[in-house]
Amino acid sequence: MATPVADIMAEERPPLRDEDGGISPAFLRAVEEAIAAGDIDRLRFLVRDLHEADLADVIELLPHDERIRLIRLLDRQFNVEALSELEEPVRDELMEALPPQVIARAVRKLESDDAAWLLEDLEEEEKRRILQRVPRADRIAVERALHYPEDTAGRHMQAEFVAVPEHWTVGEVIDFLRTEDDLPDEFFEIYVVDPRFHVLGTVSTARLLRTPRETRISEIAEKLPVVFHVHDDIEDVARQFEHYNLVSAPVVDDSGRLVGSLYIDDIVDVLEEEAAEDMLGMHGVHDEEISDSVLNITRSRFVWLFINLGTAVLASWVISWFDATIQQMVALAVLMPIVASMGGNAGTQTMAVTVRALATNELGRANIWRVIFRETAVGMLNGLLFAIIMGAFTWWWFGSDQLGLVIAMAMVVNLLAAALAGILIPLALEKMGADPALASTIFVTTVTDVVGFFSFLGLAAWWLGLG
């Protein structure tokens, strides 16, 4: 019996992922060869079963011209939902290059929040031309989402949700779900509302299906732990989702009317983005994607590197005050980077814990002094422990108990300063409205460098009678 053509083709298709979980070079090469040859059938075969997130990964690895050509070759076979999975720089690049009808097709197919994200950075005239090609109901939902600021619940909510009157029975709700065409493709909970469309509670689909048909829906509705407002900050919303283990949650307008729903898949993206921003920010990198251009990355990093240069010059200036002291004892030049480095690492540890606690609202007025005292005690204790270690090591290395005592004292001073800087600087930046994750590292490092050099060299000049 002949082997079906589909089986032969399946054997020829390279694996999508390599052993490390990334897009395999063989698969990417096959796609690029199909694009270069204009082989529509081969290209459709390669990507036909791909999830939109996988297709987005492939698109991001292609050069700009090949991305556009892939979408045009696939034409109506292109899964437009992949556009909502792209990194922002790639999304913006494609939004400028793709014809309005392709973008409009994506808007029609996507949930309202994803459609709004797709259009948010386009010119107003371009948005208008695209939305003219979208059915009125979808257009209104997307325009409403675009009306809210980017970091609010209103921008991230979906206008598609299921709400039923409080007087309906379970049977009526089930019949409604079976017969109504204009419902979300997927939903986990059903909102129970009063005549003014205020949310009274929620019923999970599992509980609905396991309850007798004659039961009133209001009798099995569970009280909501939280109801969000359209203008609530999305990061605060994400923390509430995490705190209450929510799957979905209603969003209301100024009058308390239910206007949308937030879902866990969107909140996971927010939490991931927030964590990535904090991690990058602590290293002086802000809002940077792997697909960004050389020019954009250079511009993004230059400012903080320039500030870091200024703080390094400040630390060097402090060292210059003790040039005569260093000339008399070369061992000081050998040992002083150890004091500064230990202080920098200790300060970074405290700062990381503080920034995370601020981001998750775990640090506030109720416990701030207790945490400050704890970190101070940790800094003092670590300072004493490493003072003993470095004092003994220096005595053994250079044969000077006096020098060992100097570095021991400097170690205590700098690790204590590092602990205080690591917690007080993020708190001060938060109080001033700045982002502690983005700005703390450079200031903490400056403090530990300056205090470390000044304490070690100053104590050496005073205690050893140098300079």
pLDDT, residue 454, reads 86
Which amino acid is present at 366?
A
What pLDDT was estimated at residue 385? 93
According to CATH, what is the number of the domain 5-151?
A: 1.25.60.10
Please list, in sequence order, all residues whose beta carbon lies within 8 angstroms of the beta carbon of residue 148, skipping any fewer than 6 positions away. Answer: 154, 155, 230, 231
For β-strands 248-252 and 258-263, DSSP reports them as antiparallel
pLDDT at 1: 37
pLDDT of residue 466: 59
| Whole-number pLDDT of residue 4 | 47
pTM: 0.66
Domain locations in the chain? 5-151, 163-281, 294-463
Average pLDDT along the chain, 467 residues, taken 10 residues at a time: 44 82 91 93 91 93 92 91 89 88 90 89 89 89 90 92 95 94 86 95 94 95 94 91 91 95 88 68 58 67 72 78 74 84 86 80 82 90 92 89 90 91 89 76 85 86 71
Q: Domain 294-463: which CATH class?
A: mainly alpha
> Do the domains spanning 163-281 and 294-463 agree at the CATH topology level?
no
Token digits for 102?
Answer: 């392709």
Q: Could you tell me the CA-to-CA distances from 328 to 2, 57, 308, 453, 458 in Å, in that order?
A: 90, 60, 30, 16, 14
Identity of the residue numbered 46: L
CATH number of 163-281: 3.10.580.10
